Structure 1
């Protein structure tokens, strides 16, 4: 089937080029050709992927790509499974051990990662099977206050359990270096960003980022003094899964690292800021975040516009969701400045 589609697209492109149709038609056919070629690659990849999982007792009836290298496999006489690709066997192994030990301790609000069948390699990725958690129609989101509270509580429960686990060869998380790189990339993309937002607002965000990084560097010891744990490292809303039975689960441990739990709460705070009506007051309602209200390193870090830089840097590559990035950068500017002024007052005390 895909060979036919590819042949038709190539033939159309040839005819259009030869008779000199308008550029718009030419672009349409180019898109058709790209889609056909993508279909061809995906069809071939799925066939090879299916050939690798013959060890399963039941052949999948359907294989649906959810995102990236993550697939949902459904069977006739077997519960669904997630098939996920990892960049290395070591990365898979760390996550498999972590989820196993979490369950052993009693933290069951995540999935199981299976060691059987053995992970296999395909196109440079290591694929393995993960328990499928049936999702609720009522999805978790940061716009909902009760969801935000529950998410912070789940993150705390994860840290309390992770404190009891030791994993070898965990990467050490360095927030300062990560944010320096993010600011540098934002500066590189500034000419594009200036096309969409006022210069004064752009410069203000950069100034606060520089203030934040300088303070973080000065008070790095305040971060180092907190005991290390295993942090999740990616506290985005899509990594909190509302299960069918209503319970909330934590998923996707690709970015686990060795660091103080403060780093996760800082990231969580930054993720929820765009959803707060009055961040200078509401952000301290969460006990996990309020615990750091007198910590100068946390206060300086909270002023760093991580979400704004991340979204603009992503937008520069994808040209996707400009309305969302505009909102958090321009429409929410005043309320975020109120928070930053409060943070500056707190660190000066």
Structure 2
């Protein structure tokens, strides 16, 4: 890499300072992955969409260099304003499909949410020994049954209008600069799909902050009226967090479990109410 001072943040991510300028440096193993990020940025820039942090020229084709957002503050889905701004940014991204034929590019795979969740359920069942030990057999079985019941009633989402999806709408992939300008970062999982899919996944992220009250969520975000609410019944966040827990060291797990168990108990307490709202 170029001269200057580097601070390694992840195995393939560095904060690079050269003089008074600072950058984010991300190195990919495969050039096609870096090319995908550059392609997204180029297409959005052509259309005048400033959703991404600008990409700077760099001599190594495996590296993506972007200005470091030093005062970058991650979105918190517990904050109402942040929820409004993050979903607005997603709408802006999805609407780019009206002018950009993302589906004609070879960079993207199409997401199949039902298939993805079936795979998650299979993985969950493979790890039942760990789950029974850490979560308890009763709650493990309850979450398993919720997942099965949900998947069995899901209808595939129409593929008539495919667009670009970010692919990972976790709160820390929304950042704002010192001027309070909001950006989406980390498009590594970007894919094709109906906008409804990403709105479903965003809803899963924010529902706990609405105490799983679908009515209030829809009141705040009327655009969610068009999604199939049955997709909100899959215990996606519970399963994702517990599967993540299986990857932690013993020390990390001891620190993570108390908070996760509180989150789990609240979700299981509120899920019956959500089922009643969706299927009265």
Query: Who is 1:103 aligned against?
Result: 45
Q: Which deviations, in whole Å up to 9, do the C-alpha atoms of 1:128-173 show, x marking residues without a partner?
A: 322323334x541111111111111111011112432234111111
Alignment of 1:112-131 (within 5 A): 112-119=54-61, 126-131=62-67
Deviation at 1:324, TM superposition (A): 2.9
Alpha carbons 1:280, 1:338 under 8 Å: kept: no
Alpha carbons 1:69, 1:85 under 8 Å: kept: yes
Alignment of 1:264-283 (within 5 A): 264-283=198-217
Corresponding pairs, count: 271
Question: Secondary structure at 1:80's aligned position in 2?
Answer: strand
Query: Who is 2:258 aligned against?
Result: 323
The whole-number CA distance in structure 1 between the counterparts of 2:162 and 2:29 is 25
TM, length-normalised to structure 1: 0.73
- Unpaired runs of 5+ residues, structure 1, are 1-49, 54-58, 120-125, 293-297
The whole-number CA distance in structure 2 between the counterparts of 1:87 and 1:275 is 37
Structure ranking higher on relative contact order (CA contacts 8 Å, 6+ apart): 2
Considering only aligned residues, what root-mean-square deviation do their CA atoms show, in Å? 1.9
Query: Who is 2:8 aligned against?
Result: 65
Q: Which deviations, in whole Å up to 9, do the C-alpha atoms of 1:228-280 show, x marking residues without a partner?
A: 00111100001000211112111110011111011110110011122223423
Alpha carbons 2:162, 2:192 under 8 Å: kept: yes
1:177 and 2:118 correspond: no
The whole-number CA distance in structure 2 between the counterparts of 1:300 and 1:278 is 13
Cα 1:266–1:312, aligned 2, differ >3 Å: closer, same or farther?
same
Query: Who is 1:82 aligned against?
Result: 24
Question: Secondary structure at 1:92's aligned position in 2?
Answer: helix
Query: Who is 1:37 aligned against?
Result: none
The whole-number CA distance in structure 2 between the counterparts of 1:139 and 1:325 is 21
1:196 and 2:134 correspond: yes
TM, length-normalised to structure 2: 0.89
The whole-number CA distance in structure 1 between the counterparts of 2:98 and 2:189 is 17
- Unpaired runs of 5+ residues, structure 2, are none
1:134 and 2:76 correspond: no
For residue 95 of structure 2, the aligned residue among 153, 156, 160 is 160
